[in-house]
């Protein structure tokens, strides 16, 4: 664990020790819903997953009942997709996460974020091959995807933030045999 971050004139102070008791509980739920389907097999599907993370100290002498850093309390992923009976599909998707504590003292938080994406693809009728284009972070939003927890940031910015990817396009090819 990093206790004091490195500066331009001194190295980081680190230490390792056992933590006091913590609580790790939560819920993850997913739902795959057909919103519409016609006799030819065209359909509109809404897929979604929600995760609730309730991770915190249990009466710690220093940090009380603070939230454990590095894990957002709420995460949501959803996709609305149209699938044509011929094998073509397209959709839009969203990923959202609540703010995340950066330190055990809960004095600094990475902000919440929501990013949007889209996809387009084709799956052969026999299902033996597939090609896809996945577009991520369409608004090219700057966001924090993860943090490296520190002991106590004292509310000051630290080198603990991992930036999320900007706008991106990913091509995929899948072959099944």
Q: Where are the domains of the chain?
A: 22-175
3-state secondary structure 59-95: CECCCECCECCCCCCEEEEEEEEEECCCCEEEEEEEE
Q: State yes or no: pLDDT of 6 exceeds 80.
A: no
The pTM of the whole model exceeds 0.75:
yes
Average pLDDT over the chain, rounded to an integer = 94
Has residue 18 got a pLDDT over 80?
Answer: no
- 22-40 residue pLDDT tens: 999 999 999 999 999 999 9
- Dist CA 162 CA 92 (whole Å): 25
**Which tops the pLDDT comparison, 10 or 2?**
10
**Tens-digit pLDDT profile for residues 61-92:** 999 999 999 999 999 999 999 999 999 999 99
């Amino acid at each position: 664990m990093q206790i004091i971050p490195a500066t331009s004139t001194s190295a980081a102070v680190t230490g390792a020790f056992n933590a006091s008791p913590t609580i790790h509980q939560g819920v993850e739920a997913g739902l795959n819903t057909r919103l519409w389907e016609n006799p030819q097999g065209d359909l509109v599907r809404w897929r979604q997953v929600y995760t609730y993370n309730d991770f915190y100290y249990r009466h710690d002498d220093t940090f009380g009942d603070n939230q454990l850093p590095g894990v957002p309390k709420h995460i949501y992923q959803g996709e609305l997709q149209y699938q044509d009976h011929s094998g073509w599909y397209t959709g839009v998707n969203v990923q959202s996460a609540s703010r995340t504590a950066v330190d055990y003292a809960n004095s600094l938080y990475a902000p919440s974020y929501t990013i949007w994406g889209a996809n387009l693809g084709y799956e052969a009728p026999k299902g033996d091959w597939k090609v896809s284009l996945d577009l991520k972070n369409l608004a090219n939003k700057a966001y924090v995807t993860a943090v490296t927890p520190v002991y106590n940031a004292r509310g000051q910015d630290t080198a603990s933030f991992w930036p999320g990817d900007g706008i991106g396009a990913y091509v995929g090819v899948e072959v099944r045999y």
